[in-house]
A and B are shown apart, each in its own frame.
Chain A
Amino acid sequence: KAGVTQTPRYLIKTRGQQVTLSCSPISGHRSVSWYQQTPGQGLQFLFEYFSETQRNKGNFPGRFSGRQFSNSRSEMNVSTLELGDSALYLCASSPDVSPREQYFGPGTRLTVT
Chain B
Amino acid sequence: ILNVEQSPQSLHVQEGDSTNFTCSFPSSNFYALHWYRWETAKSPEALFVMTLNGDEKKKGRISATLNTKEGYSYLYIKGSQPEDSATYLCAPYNNNDMRFGAGTRLTVKP
Chain A: residues with CB nearer than 8 A to chain B? 4, 35, 42-45, 55-56, 58, 90, 92, 98-107
B66 to chain A, nearest CB (A): 12
Interface centre among B43, B46, B101 (most CB of A within 10 A): B43
> A45 and B46: CB pair below 8 A?
no
Complex contacts, A107 vs chain B, CB 8 Å: 43
Q: Which residue of B lies closest to A3 (CB)?
A: B43
Main secondary structure of the interface of B (DSSP, over half): strand
A-B contact count (CB 8 A): 49
Complex contacts, A100 vs chain B, CB 8 Å: 49
> B93 and A98: CB pair below 8 A?
yes
Count of B interface residues, CB-CB < 8 Å: 20
Residues facing A in B56-104 (CB within 8 A) are 89, 91, 93, 96-103
B39 to chain A, nearest CB (A): 12
> B31 and A104: CB pair below 8 A?
no
> A104 and B98: CB pair below 8 A?
no
Complex contacts, B51 vs chain A, CB 8 Å: 99
Complex contacts, B44 vs chain A, CB 8 Å: 43, 90, 92, 104
**How long is the Cα–Cα vector from A90 to B93 in the complex, in angstroms?**
18
**How long is the Cα–Cα vector from A37 to B19 in the complex, in angstroms?**
26
> B43 and A42: CB pair below 8 A?
no
**How long is the Cα–Cα vector from A85 to B101 in the complex, in angstroms?**
20
